[in-house]
Structure 1
Amino acid sequence: MTETTELTGLVVDQELGRGAFTTVHRAQRGNATYAIKRPNPDNASDPGLLFAFQREAALLACVDDPSVPRILAAGRHEGVPALVLEYIPGGSLADRLTHGPLTPDQAVELAAQLARGLAAVHRVGLVHRDVKPGNIMLSPDGTAKLIDFGLALLGADPETDKDRAVGTFLYTSPEQSGMLKRPVDGRSDLYSLGVVLFECLTGHVPFEADDVGQLLRLHLTAPIPALPDGDPALTAIVTRLLAKDPDDRYPDAAALLTALRACPGGDTAGAAAVTRWPISGREAEQEGLADRWRRARTGRGGVAVIRGAAGAGRTRLAEEAAALVTDAPVLRAACQEDEALPLAPLRNAVEDYLRSVALLPGAARAEAEQHVRDAATVAGPALVARLSGRLAELLGDAAHATGEARDDHLFAAVATFLAELARRSHAMMLICDDAHWLDQGSREVLARLLPDLPRLPLLLLLTERDGAGTPTGVPADLELDCAPLDHAAVEALVASRLPGNVVPADLTAHVAARTDGSPSRWSPTCCGCSTPACSPRSGEPGASTWPARTRCPPPPTSAPCSPPGWPPSPTATGTSWSPRRWPVPGSAPRR
């Protein structure tokens, strides 16, 4: 980064909040009121702070949700790194809780707003890592806003994420504290939200200790304290959010939002969460998959294959197909190169499905589990129980019949089990992602399944990468090719990632050239040099604080994006800040 914007004309007055490293003040510029975040005096000379502020601004400019404050500018104010944000009148949730717990209805409304906000944050690949009452602002109109993304993690790289134990330990998940060796993803934020909800309902956090080590052990091993007598659905939600193992929590914020609708005041959770980016340039492929799924539901199953180069969006297109399935099982078999364990993709697909079934509400869970038992009974419970520990546990005594079985018997039994599960569920989709890496055993299972597909309500969806592994050779009645996107589709893709902005032609050209028209190779955090995805070059401020990653070439020299009425026309280029200029590198404001 060679240009630093001076944020001029701001009159700083009342202090709004103070943390270990930064302080937030209210600021006026003309008739407008802002919040300005600056380092505490002891940290003001840190050369990495300007980059950290620019990073935070660039990341949050891609998040479009009322529960996340708008970022307006990043640069220097009176020579000190600063971040200008939307001003939120009112106080924090921590302030509110000093007056007593919330009612269940209030807690549900708060959780619903934050769930939608977290869904938008997680969609761009961020993990907040510091969800706590002090970082939740309550505006006078009742909107809850999640603030302070200074600790936000972009992606999860276990080899380079060396400072995992960050955040406020009273609210930190076992995996984020390092007590549980699991990746830190969006489910860690859901755990922290569970602690917040527990405190909202009881007036205190679930685990407290004077010793930090003891506190972390409590989060890892201690049972969840009892909640006050109240609505069972809300109690179950908080209990599940506080599960020690992230696999036992809600898989994402959208699933939490769905569960909240069954609670008192659940109508406030009615608006859906946005969890995926819009897909661009694949309308014909989407329609083809939708039509093939409609036919499969009527008992005319078959095979669809999605082919394309690395980064062409094969997996994303498969996920769009999975989203069509609202009332039937979706089994996802993710294939790995050089997988040594026979049937590993199918084992994991069944395990993941049974894990999701175990989290369904009572009646739906009982029905789905019975379908699994019935399918296993037809296939041979002792054989199919070898596929999955969870399946063996569900089948109980039937899984323990003695007898030696050859592998070919197991392959046939698994094929029968999948076919019967599709029949008894009245429809099913089996996705094999990166099927060119399928192990031989899984290929044998699919070969035994193929003859019956035309008479089954089952769609087998395969994705294969051009020039990789060994193609399955499975005959398909729908073949889709993820060709590179044309210019219009790239433009639509970029615009969808930067909501509310007009995207200039040079940025579209830059992204198209960088990705060769393959949409999965680009994200908004890879257009400017202010995020870990495109970390600063050697010698720039903050370069030593980020792990080495693949870096983009310099983006276009013009402002990356300009919303209508905001042309990049500063009074003195690179030296002053104007409401008509967007000085955050790689980002733009939302309308």
Structure 2
Amino acid sequence: MATTRLAEYIGRVLGGRYRLVAPIGTGASAHVYLADDVKLRRRVAVKILHPALADDEGFLRRFRAEARAAAGLNHANVMAVYDWGEEADGPFLVCEFLGGGSLRSILDRGTRLTPSQALLVGLEAARALDYASRRGLVHRDIKPANLLFDDEGRLRIADFGLARALAEAAWTEPSGTLLGTARYASPEQVRGARLDGRADVYSLAIVLYEAVTGRVPFVADTTMGTLMGRLEQPIPVAPELGILGPIVARAGRPDADERLDAVALGSALQSAAGDLPPPGRLPLAGIAALDDTQGRLDADPTELGLPVPPSTTQTSATGAPTVIDMSPPEHGAATPFGHGAATPFGHGAG
């Protein structure tokens, strides 16, 4: 996708109804655009996958099946998938637009979450993972870039189904890759074993550890060293985590049979909430437009073996962030985000 200039897509209409407005994210396998749904008159996010995938029948079959499954998910903490389609330039997904940005964007600014804030993030994510697991879905790529927020700070998990579809794609990056982000992959993913929802819990435990401490455990100088370091060791108990430390360690045990599942993780977090102060409002990063020379790359690329790209920030000629208009189109249609304030401990959909 590096050969495709982001600006070339602006103004195009996909599927006869999704007019691309501005690029808002890019990674190894896809570009993401803010778009207008001209039929329903609302803002949406459109993820355009790599053009090489358009001719991959194995991927397209899995992509169609996973897109349908993801579209059937209806949970307060799962990003809604509205539509999907295929164009000459590659398949695309249409999702709800979330203006609060990602956890990755928060962390890339040097901000760390308090234990109370991390607990709320973990609780909402655990509820979403439990919901998906009960429906037979394993995410396989839980990482800060896939934890998004609406304008009020409510968490949504993005990209359910996409990691599994990419696993069956013949296309890889030139260097050759394995699926699953190295820094957040579970031991069973490293071993190539059968996965269930506990693999996602492990990845979430890594995310919570990083969100509070600013460090990712087991990171080594090489991808292989990063992967091998977690096969026998539990996630360490960091003092910064406080009361969350033992919970994160239990969610990060290398043996899935000894690990908390999503239900148990949610229960443990809920029990710990009474011993923590209420969470402050999350320091949301928001969304900024990208150009062709400075993009907000996914610092946790889905494919293993890729170098972690530098984090860059889009700026205007004056040095100020280039912020796109997040308001709905002038016709005044309701935006797909804004489902109420972030839930305090003990409230929200289960």
Which residue does 2:226 correspond to in 1?
Answer: 215
1:254 aligns with 2:263: yes
Q: Which runs of 5+ in 2 are unaligned?
A: 1-13, 166-176, 279-350
Which residue, 203, 210, 213 being the options, matches 2:214? 203
Q: State the AA in 1 paired with 2:187.
A: P
Alpha-carbon distance between aligned partners in 2 of 1:97 and 1:219, rounded to the nearest angstrom = 22
Supply the AA of the counterpart residue of 2:49.
P
Match of 2:105 in 1: 95
Q: Which among 85, 88, 91 is matched to residue 95 of structure 2?
A: 85
Is residue 27 of structure 1 aligned with residue 39 of structure 2? no
Contact residue 105 and residue 265 of structure 1 kept, 8 A: no
8 A Cα contact 2:53 2:60, kept in partner:
no
1:455-474 deviation per Cα after TM superposition (whole angstroms, max 9, x unaligned): xxxxxxxxxxxxxxxxxxxx
1:164-210 CA-to-partner distances (Å, cap 9, x unmatched) read 9621010011111117xx53111111000000010011011111112
- Which of 87, 112, 120 in structure 2 is aligned with 1:109? 120
- Displacement of 1:247: 1.2
Of 70, 73, 89 in structure 2, the residue corresponding to residue 63 of structure 1 is 73
Within 5 Å, give how 1:377-416 maps onto structure 2.
none
Deviation at 1:76, TM superposition (A): 2.8
Deviations 1:297-353 (A, max 9, x none): xxxxxxxxxxxxxxxxxxxxxxxxxxxxxxxxxxxxxxxxxxxxxxxxxxxxxxxxx
AA matched with 2:36: Q
Residue by residue over 1:395-428, the C-alpha shift from the partner in whole angstroms, topping out at 9 and shown as x without a partner, is: xxxxxxxxxxxxxxxxxxxxxxxxxxxxxxxxxx
The residue aligned with 2:314 is none
Q: Helix, strand or coil for the counterpart of 2:21?
A: strand
Tell whether the 8 Å contact from 1:50 to 1:82 is kept in structure 2 after alignment. Answer: no
Judged with a 3 Å threshold, the aligned counterparts in structure 2 of structure 1 residues 265 and 137 are, in CA distance, closer, same or farther, namely farther
Work out whether residues 63 and 162 of structure 2, in 8 Å CA contact, stay in contact via their aligned partners in 1: no
Matched to 1:259, the amino acid is: A
Shift of 1:102: 0.3
- Aligned to 1:35, what secondary structure does the other structure show? strand
TM-score by length of 2: 0.65
Distance 2:241 2:223 in 1: 31
2:343 maps to which residue? none
Give SS of 1:243's match: coil
* Structure-1 residue corresponding to 2:249: 239
Change in 2 beyond 3 A, CA 1:205/1:237: same
CA–CA separation in structure 2 for the residues paired with 1:267 and 1:123: 30
Alignment partner of 1:11 is 2:19: yes
The offset of 1:136, in angstroms, is 0.8
**Which structure ranks higher in relative contact order (CA pairs < 8 Å, sequence separation ≥ 6)?**
2
User: Contact 1:137 / 1:144 at 8 angstroms: preserved in 2?
Assistant: yes
Q: Quote the residue 2:179 is aligned against.
A: 166
The 3-state SS of whatever aligns with 2:74 is coil
Q: Return the offset for 1:218.
A: 0.5
1:119 alignment counterpart: 130
Give the counterpart letter for 1:228 in structure 2.
P
Separation in 2, partners of 1:60, 1:134 = 18
Q: What is the match of residue 293 of structure 1?
A: none
Q: Give SS of 2:145's match.
A: helix
Change (3 A) 1:80 1:173: closer
Partner of 1:40 in structure 2?
A: 50
**Which residue of structure 2 lines up, in the alignment, with residue 138 of structure 1?**
149
Q: Is the 8 A contact 2:205 2:252 kept in 1?
A: yes
Q: Tell me which protein shows more helix as a share of its residues.
A: 1
2:203 to 167, 192, 213: 192
Shift of 1:259: 0.6
